[in-house]
Each structure stands twice: as structure tokens, then as C-alpha cells.
Structure 1
Amino acid sequence: MTARFGMRVSALLVTTALTVGAGATAAFAEPTAPDISQATEQRTLLKGSTTASYYWDDASGRAGDTGLPASGISMRKGLAASPSWPLMTEGYVIYKGKKAPFFIGDRGPGNPSNNGIMLDLDAKTFADLTGGTFNSSTLGVDGNGGAGHIKVQYVITKWGNGVGKKNHPVAFSTGAWGRKDTNPAKPPVDMVAVAAKKAEAEKAAEAKKKAEAEKVAALKVAAAKKAEEAKAAEKAVAAAPATLDANVAAAAAETDTSHTGTALALVGGLAVVGGAGFLSRGRIRKAVRR
């Protein structure tokens, strides 16, 4: 656990001034805590690593706290403190494969942030991550081997709208927590989205390649069909003279046969006529002799 005395008072004064400016009624109304249940599924705005401690400030004074969190939201699981991020900033931490969502509802750590401890998780979340249990009497964590600081990866999914540095955390002593940041960090490249986009592009390219291959195959089939038709036409043209000659020969033969028959008929006729004449002459001769 870490102390945050002077800086808690300063942050609380700023928060109180802002609240009073909003109206007397609002001054006594506790702000609504954000829903961080879907934090791990949102877009990544910033990612990094730091050392995290834990605390639990319920204004009871049992753990040396100085009052309720600076945001005015009562202490609860998921409420974390940052020395520089805007209040109501949302995100999650990763420790040994475990993910835990948080929102920044308080300021801290104070002096420890000068030594690189840039995040104060709530004791219940810390217990879950380290395999311990939250002690409601001492407001500490038991059964985790005495671990009070752990190395975590942090991911910011949403920045708070108020003052504070929208980038990698800096020590509380820098005063960054009280200045408006107009130049937030650029979101890192989302490798998952890049991979998905690449896969989609490869799928589209494969579909296009397949369509082109099918088109080429269809053109080849059409070309082969035309080639077959052209070949058949060439054969027909090549065979046409022979067929014509055969037809002409057949017609000629028929004509010759017709002529021969006529000639034979003519000869036969002549023979008949000639015979008749012969017979007639014979009869005449015979009659004369008589």
C-alpha cells in the first residue's frame, strides 16, 4: 500500500472546486462510476508497462487514507489511482495472463511514483491478480506471499475528459495531473486488426484469382470448340470436290446408259423395219413366180 497525503488533498481541492462550480446540488451527489465490464474488448489507445501497488481508501482512516477518492466516487473494486492520467480514464491491466479492468477514480501514488510505481490498483483487484484475499479488517491483501508491488502491462481504452496527461504516466510531482492535455498519444497499431485486414485482402485476392482462372478455362473451352468447328468445316470443304466428282460421274454414267438404250432401241427398230421389208420383198417375188 502507498501513502498519498498531500497530493490527495490537492487533487480533492481541484475536484471539489469543479463540483461546486457545477451547482450546489451536484456537490453532494456522488458521480456515477463508469461501466468497465467491456474494457478488455474496446479499442487500444495506449499500452505500456509499470509497477503497480495497491490501496483501499474508504475514509475510515484504518489504512492511513485521507478520505474518499479524488473523483468523489466511493471506493470499490476496479477504482484505481494514477499520478497523471485524467480521472475517469478506463483500461485494464494484465498480470501473468490475468486481465483486470479499472477506471481512474483517484490520484496516486505520490512519492512512490518518483521511483516508477505509476499505478495504484484497488486491494480487491490486486488480490485477484496475485492469488490472495482481501482483508476487510485491515484493508490489505493476505495470502499472496506478501506481494505489495507487481509488474503489470496496462492498456488504456478510453481517456477521461478532465485534466491530466493522456500518455504514458509520469510522477505526481510533475503536476501533469492538473494540466489539460491537448495532444494525446497516438493509438498504437492494432496488430489484430492489421492481421484481420490482411487475411481479408488475401481472401479477396484468392477469390479474384479463382474467378480469373475460371474465366480463362471457359475461354479455352470456347476456343477449343471453335477450333473443332473450324476443323470440321475444313474437312467438309476438302471433301466437297470428291463428292462433286462422284455425282458428276454418276450423272454421266446415267446419261451414257440412256444413250445406249436409245441406240439399241433404234437398231432394234431398224431391224424390225428392215425384216418387214425383207419379208415383203420375198412375198412379192414369190407371187411373181406364180
Structure 2
Amino acid sequence: MQQRAIDTALTALTGTALAGMLVAGVAVESAHGAPADKPMAHNLTSQQVTGHDNNTNTGKTSGKTSGKTGGKTKAGKAAPKTHAVLSGNTTASYFWDDGSGVNGDTGAPASGKPMQKGMFASPSWPMNTKVKVTYQGRSVTGFVGDRGPGEPSHRGVMLDLDTYTFRHLVDGKKPTSKYDTGTSAGHLKGVKYEVLSWGHGAGTKGTPKPLG
């Protein structure tokens, strides 16, 4: 009888303790259960994904930008300079020989090419030699296509320039006609010449020599 009373009391006490534990478990479940964890997990996932995307995009953007910028940049590349194989100064006259007989011309140019702008006459340089002439800051690049001037070359006039080139060197304008420069100047002293490349036609390379 006494033992039964003790068992009953222990059973009651155990039930009370179990009930208390269940209540405590429910409280813990409410405070730290899945419903409370999901928003935190979502926020963390968002931060991780956002951080990953930013790093990935930044890496790609930086790579593309650097690549394109580097590919298009041309800084530091200087344009190639043209070097003269011969340069000097001389007195230049003008001509326009087209075989018309105007101004006593001697016929078609010796090179066989038609008279044109940028055609020069030299007493000795090879035909088709490329020459740049400069006077008072103005320049024209042409080629040797005829022989001349005649006797003036013995007096130091080593270049005969077409009328268009001659007039451009004087004042930057065009001649009155292809036979007349439209100025009172018959010669230009101190014209700088630069031979850019020698021609393969008849003639002699080097310092110009008088005709004949």
C-alpha cells in the first residue's frame, strides 16, 4: 500500500516534469524554429548571391574595358618620318612645256609624261626622282619629268618648277594661266630641295650639275 502511494507520487511528478519540458520545447520552437530562420537564411543568400554577381560582373567589365582600351590606344606610336636622301638650296625658275609652242617651249617633257602640276625639270637628276621643294614655309612635292633649265643652270638655277608649284611657293595662290604665274617674280632664290627618292630613269644621282 505504501509502495503504491510512492509509485503514484513518482508518476505524477514525472508527468509534471514532462509537461514542463514540453512547454519549454514549444517556447524554444517559437523563438528559434524554422519560421524565424527562413528570413535570415534568405537575407544571407541574397547577400551571397549579390556579392557573387557583383564580383563576377566587375571582373568581366574590368576585363572588357581593359581589353578594349588597350586595343584602341595608339598613344606612343609616332607617324613614320620621311628622310631625304639629298637636300640643299638653289635658285628656281618656272616653265610649262606642253608642246604648244607658247613662250617658246621646246616641246613635250623629256620623260614622255604629259606636262602637269608637280612636274619639275632638273639638269641632271634621274627621271621620276621624287623631290620636295620649300620656300618661305610653303612646300610642294613633285617629281623630275623634264630637263632644264638650259643655260641658267650654269648660273646656279638648278630647278625649273611648273607654274602652279612656282606660284604656290610665291604666295600660296594659283597662276593666272598655266603659262604665266601672274607675278613679277622670274626666279626664287633660296628654295630648299629634298630628294625623297631617286628615280630609275636616265640621269645622275647626287648634287645637281648644269645641263650639257
Partner of residue 115, structure 2: 75
Partner of residue 47, structure 2: none
Quote how far apart the aligned CAs of 1:63 are: 1.6
Quote how far apart the aligned CAs of 1:43 are: 2.3
Q: Secondary structure at the match of 1:172?
A: coil
- Identity percentage of aligned residues: 49
Could you tell me which amino acid in structure 2 is paired with residue 130 of structure 1? V
Match of 2:150 among 97, 110, 115: 110
Quote how far apart the aligned CAs of 1:168 are: 1.1
1:57 matches 2:97:
yes
Could you tell me which amino acid in structure 2 is paired with residue 50 of structure 1? T
Q: Secondary structure at the match of 1:44?
A: coil
Partner of residue 83, structure 2: 43
Whole-angstrom CA distance in 2 between matches of 1:67 and 1:111 = 17
1:134 matches 2:175:
yes
User: Which structure has the larger Rg over C-alpha atoms?
Assistant: 1
Whole-angstrom CA distance in 1 between matches of 2:82 and 2:144 = 16
Partner of residue 149, structure 1: 187
1:165 matches 2:204:
yes
Partner of residue 141, structure 2: 101
Q: Secondary structure at the match of 1:51?
A: strand
Quote how far apart the aligned CAs of 1:154 are: 0.2
Q: What is the TM-score with the length of structure 1 in the denominator?
A: 0.43
Q: Secondary structure at the match of 2:104?
A: coil
Quote how far apart the aligned CAs of 1:102 are: 1.2
Q: What is the TM-score with the length of structure 2 in the denominator?
A: 0.59
Q: Which aligned pairs between 1:174-193 and structure 2 lie closer than 5 A?
A: none
Whole-angstrom CA distance in 1 between matches of 2:119 and 2:201 = 17
Whole-angstrom CA distance in 1 between matches of 2:136 and 2:210 = 25
Q: Which aligned pairs between 1:1-290 and structure 2 lie closer than 5 A?
A: 42-131=82-171, 132-136=173-177, 139-142=179-182, 144=183, 146-151=184-189, 152-173=191-212
Whole-angstrom CA distance in 1 between matches of 2:105 and 2:176 = 16
Quote how far apart the aligned CAs of 1:44 are: 1.0
Q: Runs of at least 4 residues of structure 1 off by over 3 A?
A: none
Q: Deviations over 1:71-127 (max 9, x none)?
A: 011111000000000000001011001111110000001100000000000001111
Q: Deviations over 1:18-39 (max 9, x none)?
A: xxxxxxxxxxxxxxxxxxxxxx
Could you tell me which amino acid in structure 2 is paired with residue 95 of structure 1? Y
Query: When the two structures are aligned, how many residues end up with a matched partner?
Result: 131
